[in-house]
Amino acid sequence: MRTSASCNTLMSMGEDTMATGIASQLRTVHEEVAAASRAAKRDPSAVKLIAVTKIVPASVIEEAIAAGQLRFGENRVQEARTKWPELKERHPDIELHLIGPLQSNKVRDAVALFDVIETLDRPKIAAALAEEMARAGKRPRLLVQVNTGEEPQKAGVLPDELDGFVAQCRERLGVAIEGLMCIPPLDEEPSLHFALLAKMAHRLGLAELSMGMSGDFARAIAFGATYVRVGTAIFGARGAAITV
Ligand SMILES: *Cc1c(COP(=O)(O)O)cnc(C)c1O
């Protein structure tokens, strides 16, 4: 009896420590978002924090939800399918963002699961989304990913092709676009990319700007980010094997 009682105590201590860790890291990030907003003379409530939970298990996501976080991001449809249907059923107010590449064969799952798809980046996917949204009667909000660094290995519409692509989505496909998203090259100053994305969104009359991660969200806020996508600063490092 004694063994099992002390074992239980240890286990709940472990869980408490984890809950406190996630809650306090979330609080810290919220404070940093608010500070960066004030420094940029922006309303802190205009910057929405997306907690990025790739690789993070459902039990830890529950800790973040218990701490009041309701907006989350995943970069793989397949992984999201294993964790989120149940979490969303328990917590109907959750807003789930897809922040990784979308393939045609995952469009149906993505429309079913995500509230915001940030990675629309080619006409074929736009057409598939339009068709699936009509079929399912569900309309996730859409952002277009822009490959601001013109990196060959990276997803996203090239800056030169953005106006045409957005016009095509709007006119030919009847798909409304709310904003733009980018992932700057790892080895470049991100501010240049944030500035470019903000300029393009302004030109196109798009309200939402998803930019900034753990290492650079304060700079993204200075350039007008309305969504920042933060994983590591909330949940800790994902390990060397896992990359964006
Ligand atoms: C993983 C990921 C993030 C979060 O990155 P951190 O550096 O862990 O904050 C943001 N955006 C995208 C697209 C990601 O894949």
Whole-Å CA distances, 106 to 81, 100, 127: 11, 12, 13
pLDDT value of residue 172: 87
pLDDT value of residue 17: 46
Q: What is the pTM of this model?
A: 0.90
Distance of CA 107 to the CA centre of its chain: 17
Ligand 1 and 97: CB distance under 6 A = no
Structure tokens at 143: 């952002």
Per-residue pLDDT tens for 34-76?
A: 999 999 999 999 999 999 999 999 999 999 999 999 999 999 9
Ligand 1 and 17: CB distance under 6 A = no
pLDDT value of residue 68: 97
Ligand 1 and 211: CB distance under 6 A = no
Give the C-alpha separation, 230 to 235, whole Å. 9
Tokens 């809950």 — which residue?
Answer: 19
Give the C-alpha separation, 64 to 235, whole Å. 9
Domain ranges (residues) in the chain: 4-242
Mean per-residue pLDDT of the chain: 91
Ligand 1 and 176: CB distance under 6 A = no
Ligand 1 centroid–CA 213 distance in Å is 6
Ligand 1 and 229: CB distance under 6 A = yes
The burial class, CB within 10 Å (0-12 / 13-18 / 19+), for 209 is buried
Residue of the CA atom closest to atom 6 of ligand 1? 231
Give the C-alpha separation, 129 to 142, whole Å. 10
Over the Cα atoms of the chain, what is R_g? 19
Structure tokens at 211: 């930019």
Ligand 1 centroid–CA 54 distance in Å is 8
Q: What CATH code would you report for 4-242?
A: 3.20.20.10
Instruction: Give, for 60, the enclosing helix (H) or strand (E).
Output: helix 58-66
Residue of the CA atom closest to atom 12 of ligand 1? 99
Ligand 1 and 232: CB distance under 6 A = yes
Per-residue pLDDT tens for 75-99?
A: 999 999 999 999 999 999 999 999 9
pLDDT value of residue 239: 67
Give the C-alpha separation, 114 to 238, whole Å. 23
Q: Which amino acid is at 230?
A: V
Residue of the CA atom closest to atom 10 of ligand 1? 229
The burial class, CB within 10 Å (0-12 / 13-18 / 19+), for 173 is middle
Q: Which amino acid is at 101?
A: P
Whole-Å CA distances, 3 to 7, 8, 40: 6, 9, 55
Cβ-proximal residues to 33 (8 Å cutoff; 6+ apart), any chain = 44, 47, 49, 217, 221, 228
Low-confidence ranges of the chain (pLDDT < 50): 1-19, 240-244
